Each structure stands twice: as C-alpha cells, then as structure tokens.
C-alpha cells in the first residue's frame, strides 16, 4: 500500500515540477481539438471552434508571459 502512495507522490511531483511543459501540452491538445472541430464541423459549430482556437493561442501567450511580467514587477516595485 505504501508503494502505491509513493508512486502517486512521485507522479504528482513530476507533474508539478514541470508545469510549463505540462500546460503547453494541454493548450496544444486544445488547439488541435479546436482545429479538427473547425475542419470537420458544420457551419454552425465552426465559429465556436474558431473562438476556441483564439482562446488557446491567447492562453499560451499569457501563460508564457506571466513569469517574465511577475519577475519584472517584483524587481521594479
């Protein structure tokens, strides 16, 4: 039983120690799903998937810019 909790703990440590690549992977999967939805969807659902693509791209940009902005604010304020 202890081995199971150790393995879960190691998984969580690995997951959260490399947050940036994990979240970028999640955003890219969302982008891929939305792109497939635009390509394979009908005319009614295409605008929703296009909005999802914009959301995924803006989320990646904001996620990548968050750390430099926070570092800049901490240094200069």
Question: Per the structure, how many domains does the chain have?
Answer: 1
Domain assignment present for 42: yes
Long-range CB pairs of 49-58 (<8 Å, 24+ gap) are: 56/27, 56/28, 56/30, 56/31, 57/31
For the chain, 77 residues long, give each residue's pLDDT as a single digit of tens. 567 778 887 887 776 667 778 888 889 999 999 999 999 988 898 899 999 999 999 988 988 888 888 888 888 87
Domain assignment present for 45: yes
Domain assignment present for 43: yes
Q: How far apart are the first and last CA of the chain?
A: 49
Domain assignment present for 26: yes
Domain assignment present for 1: no
pTM > 0.75: no
Supply the range of the domain harboring residue 49: 19-76
CA distance 35 to 28: 10
């Amino acid at each position: 039983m202890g081995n199971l909790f150790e393995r879960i703990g190691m998984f969580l440590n690995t997951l959260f120690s490399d947050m940036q690549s994990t979240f970028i992977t999640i955003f890219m999967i969302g982008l891929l799903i939305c792109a497939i939805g635009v390509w394979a969807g009908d005319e009614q659902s295409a605008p929703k998937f296009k909005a999802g693509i914009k959301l995924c791209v803006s989320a990646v940009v904001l996620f990548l810019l968050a750390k430099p902005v926070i570092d800049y604010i901490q240094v200069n304020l």
